[in-house]
Structure 1
């Protein structure tokens, strides 16, 4: 139970937010450093301990895996690991992916869908775009991908995008590509990241699927887009009990379709909404706050609020203007060097960070730092799950779970090399489409002699590929399903992947370390993922399945839960772990966007 001493650590505004009646929708407008995570976790604990809500009836949504993990750690200290584990806690994408797999039949998709990452989505769009290059079409694949993503964020179909873009031929063409792109995703039994929200909203529109939720809480609400707002609204359909935390002054994701207007939209959709402002800052000095407020106050349309602190005044921020980027870079490098020398070693290179608007602006800075002998590192260069060796192994596992996922097939049919050319791969994909079978089923048929070979012949080249897929499939499907960490180890042996790296990659040692890190990640997923409960029968229902409704007017075959396998849970975790990056060496000045 939350102790009085714990409540005493909250200031007056924080306490008011935590104790706010759960049946009244609440907007907590929290400035930076005002303790919003503490308030959010304390409110969840209060709902459970004082208002007796079941932990499993609470939905808490964050924007990053890092934020979800931090909230999970704090809640564990407040209410214990068991109750924390029952809360539906995670990002919008993770929440949707989990429920889509469990209730896939309800919206007529297959539960073993693959999450198509941004890189594969862009490749697919680039391939579709080739058809239109001969026309007077000026947009690049990145621009087309961005338009499609923004359309999905607003819930627009290809037909709706056509109507919106009726004034320009480019938009009409993008709408055509959008429709072809969607068709290709469905054919590969895959959803892209935006689809997780679009299809999630379709699923949560079924009231039976969300009846379990008695209270929904959303962090960083100012960064929600149209689909995320709709998701929140659908999840809260039964209870109408909502708590959101946000700060319109920190809305920086408009380019990613975030809509700060969702704060006003919530007040219209939930008329009894109350606003509580957290204006006590615990992180910054007074001078930093004063400078920040002077800048943000120039927005005359903002919600009036302020920030105060009891911290010391601190150093005065400095604003300098330069004639060129090279003058700016030289000043920054010299200033870092001066401060390290001035403090007599109290400050080191890794005590400084340089923030950029975009990575392309780093060249002048890196040159200036190098001239002054200052070691530096660029952050967010290659994310862990974007690395070649990691994507290779994931592609094998994706095909084991979803043999229709063509991007994975195209990627690893030649890893290690089997001398199968691009035209041959294209012909395999076309024949599989004509026969309405997966590319994996086609090559297995060719290998077994059940399907005629193609020209040029590939039967003799498919042995190692078919053996690897069949072995892994058997291991993944046997009782309970083998854990992904073991599947990866078997895969490495089956395709002799270490020898392939040694043969093809000059830096194979570091890539092999990444392979081992992937196994560690799989083990971590297995350790932190609750045991997969058995399918409920007529006589028993587990807590994990409590949202399955038994009303006669709802088709039980449709609502029945699809099986979650250890492999599927691992693949989902890897596709949604966009925060994970490889470790970089310390004692260097970080340069980052």
Structure 2
């Protein structure tokens, strides 16, 4: 079905698109790098679903050629379910089995499984979540932590077993997700950083020896696969469109994966809202969404500001609160918010 035919069908079933020019653009302008800034209650999921479905119905890509990522498996399942629901509403039947949906972690895991021989992992490897990663360090406490006691404190900083494990995990994740080379830490004149680097190397060695991987390494290993020219050409040739939800909560290695995957065709759409960046404590950086347009020569920026969910009074209170915050960095060099973002009642 051609573009105009699908658009006509859309506007018949979803006439509300005619009353929201920003949402209209976000749904129908699918090519090239696009940033959709979606304020609270502005129909973000509705827009993302219709955009993905439009790509499929206009045959710009097959389901297997679309990667659709969000922050939780529950949200990913909801996106797939709503695409199927909306396609039926439009009288179209689609086989979405091959649509690549999931969290960034689960998508990395699937690709790693396809190219396992090129990784440090073996068949039936185990993925450790946030809790089991802590338990793994506890089980290997003697090798990972015990050698690094200084002045009756682990790493010269922490007391208590679980307090140390918790703090150390934050450093390990940061090193992996920021793609920091431990050689740099080991060459440091800072004794703490040297100990962290040695401990990290021990943790990494034990993980791979036991055929395990944590969330951070899952992403790093996939990114390293993309640096292999042969593998990269194969993976990138199979992907025509990349859509990433909750982009404000991505970290450095996730950004690098997204940019690498879209490097050839540039058909990448990221959706998010810097005001709703919640996971900085997990290594997420709001800079990813703020600097996204600078990564491309011609990036389309669309702002969804019409709120369909909240009462006018709530919207006014929200706007007043957000605008009362000083969004400048401490040295006044960076403004951590997009301008002209007043949310309005739909």
TM-score by length of 1: 0.50
Tell me if 1:261 matches 2:287.
yes
Aligned mates of 2:303, 2:177 — CA distance in 1: 29
Output one character per residue of 1:511-539: Cα deviation in whole Å (capped at 9) or x when no partner.
xxxxxxxxxxxxxxxxxxxxxxxxxxxxx
Q: Once the two structures are superposed, what CA deviation does each residue of 1:391-438 show, in whole Å capped at 9, x if it has no partner? A: xxxxxxxxxxxxxxxxxxxxxxxxxxxxxxxxxxxxxxxxxxxxxxxx
**Residue 77 of structure 2 is aligned to residue 79 of structure 1:** no
Find out whether 1:129 has 2:151 as its counterpart.
no
- Which structure ranks higher in relative contact order (CA pairs < 8 Å, sequence separation ≥ 6)? 2
Which one of 222, 225, 231 corresponds to residue 203 of structure 1? 225
1:72 CA drift (Å): 1.1
| CA–CA distance in structure 1, aligned partners of residues 303 and 52 of structure 2 | 18
Say whether 1:57 aligns with 2:93. Answer: no
Verify: 1:138 aligned to 2:164, yes or no.
no
2:104 to 73, 92, 100: 92
The counterpart of 1:13, out of the listed 22, 25, 34, is 22
In 2, Cα distance between equivalents of 1:86 and 1:129: 43
Unpaired segments ≥5 residues, structure 2? 1-5, 159-163, 328-334
Contact 2:315/2:344 (<8 A) preserved: yes
Report if the CA contact (8 A) 2:35-2:293 is conserved.
no
Structure 1 residue corresponding to 2:320, chosen from 264, 289, 294: 294
Which of the residues 119, 133, 152 maps onto 1:107?
Answer: 119
Deviation, 1:120, is 3.3
Partner of 2:260: 234
Q: CA deviation at 1:214?
A: 0.3
Query: Given that residues 31 and 247 in structure 1 are in contact (C-alpha distance below 8 angstroms), is that contact kept between their aligned partners in structure 2?
Result: yes
Unpaired runs of 5+ residues, structure 1, are 311-593
Give the root-mean-square deviation of aligned CA atoms.
1.9
> Residue 560 of structure 1 aligns with which residue?
none
Which residues of 2 match residues 216-235 of structure 1 at below 5 A? 216-235=242-261
CA contact (8 A) 1:151 1:161 kept: no
Q: Please show how residues 126-525 of structure 1 align to structure 2 within 5 Å.
A: 126=138, 127=141, 128-133=144-149, 136=153, 137-139=156-158, 140-162=164-186, 166=188, 168-205=190-227, 206-297=232-323, 298-300=325-327, 301=335, 302-304=337-339, 305-310=341-346
Deviation at 1:296, TM superposition (A): 1.3
Quick check: 2:274–2:290 contact (8 Å CA) kept in 1?
Answer: no
1:51 Cα deviation after fit = 4.7
Secondary structure of the corresponding residue to residue 299 of structure 1: coil
Q: Structure 2: how far apart are the matches of 1:83 and 1:37?
A: 20
Measure the CA separation in 1 of the matches of 2:59 and 2:184: 44
Q: Name 1:320's counterpart in structure 2.
A: none
Shift of residue 179 of structure 1? 0.5
Contact persistence 2:36–2:269 (CA under 8 A): yes
Q: How many residues align?
A: 307
Hey, what's the Cα distance between the residues in 2 that align with 1:68 and 1:92?
A: 10
What does residue 38 of structure 1 align with?
Answer: 46
The structure with the largest alpha-carbon Rg is 1
